[in-house]
Amino acid sequence: MRVNLDKIREKNFMTRLPISVCIIAGNEAHRISRALDSVAGWTAEIILVINEDVYDGTDKIAASSCAKIFREAWKGFGPQKQSAAEKCAQSWILNLDADETVSPELSKEIQKLFAAPEKLQPFAAFSFPRRTFYCGRWIRYGDWYPDRQIRLWRRGQAQWSADAVHEKLTVQGTIGRLRGDLLHFSMESLEQQMKKTMAYADAFGRQCAEQKKSVHFSDLLLRPAWRFVRAYFFRLGFFDGWQGFVIARFAAIYTFLRYLTVYQAQKEANKK
């Protein structure tokens, strides 16, 4: 039987696109394989930057997916992601967190996009919605959806901010929009969510101190209330059931704690 080499080459192109996947991780052995499996079959390279104190087997799991592994001291989310991106060799970069996966729909959409290079040409990056699984339910409203993320970009045409939390990708060029979902398996328990809330509040306080931003007492009163009303009512969070209420409530608590952290620090500084 005659082998059609053109079809083989086409299939190989579709399964191994010129994309480097970059991931940063701590102790993620219990869930990182899900992220790796979602990209291992069709991307050309996987870069994993793990914290230098990680010894739970995350690196071994990543190695089984042929990932290139680097150990580095923790520098904050923005600098750590930028470090991972700078190690990528392919012409396009796709960033994932260890608790995220590329949905089959998004994977097919990206492969279809790369099969037609003329559709790629006008764009420096692409965004897509992120859908979060929370307490047994996929969230489709409120602050958490569509939650568009810019995670696919041409190498050299975007850079992560230096923010310790809530890092942003600054793109030089036009950003296209894809429809497939990035799947996010964020909170494993309410306890974990509260710990993460406190950690983010502390990081926000340090960031405000570095940037010399001031907070007023009115921020403690108005911002948390507005955050809840916006998420639960204006953005239809109530359609997500009791999970939607909890998400809006935690958003308000987080907003209160982060501004309280800065407000208390200001008061202590004034006393001194």
Same domain, 171 and 194: no
Q: Is 60 exceeded by the pLDDT of residue 208?
A: yes
Confidence grade of residue 23 (pLDDT, cut at 50, 70, 90): very high
Same domain, 224 and 128: no
Same domain, 242 and 210: yes
Query: Any idea what the CATH number is for the domain that residue 170 is in?
Result: 3.90.550.10
CA torsion angle 165 45 56 193 (round to 10): 30
> Distance (Å, rounded) from C-alpha 270 to C-alpha 192?
34
Is omega for the bond preceding 104 within 30 degrees of 0, making it cis? Answer: no
Same domain, 116 and 50: yes
Same domain, 72 and 99: yes
Which of 165, 184, 203 corresponds to the end of one domain? 184
Q: What is the pLDDT of residues 36-62, one digit of tens each?
A: 999 999 999 999 999 999 999 999 999
Tell me if 22 sits within 8 A of 88, measured CB to CB. Answer: yes
- The confidence score (pLDDT) of residue 12 equals 46
Mean pLDDT, the chain, rounded, equals 90
| Dihedral sign (CA 188, 192, 197, 201) | negative
28: Cβ–Cβ under 8 A, 6 or more apart, which residues? 56, 58, 98, 99
Same domain, 118 and 195: no
Q: What is the pLDDT of residues 161-200, one digit of tens each?
A: 998 778 999 999 999 999 999 999 987 667 777 777 777 7
Q: What angle do CA 114, 118, 122 make, to 5 degrees?
A: 100
User: How many folded domains does the chain comprise?
Assistant: 2
Confidence grade of residue 13 (pLDDT, cut at 50, 70, 90): very low
Same domain, 204 and 161: no
Same domain, 171 and 195: no
Give residue 240's domain range.
190-271
Same domain, 59 and 111: yes
Same domain, 133 and 242: no
Q: Is 60 exceeded by the pLDDT of residue 1?
A: no
Same domain, 89 and 209: no
- The confidence score (pLDDT) of residue 10 equals 46
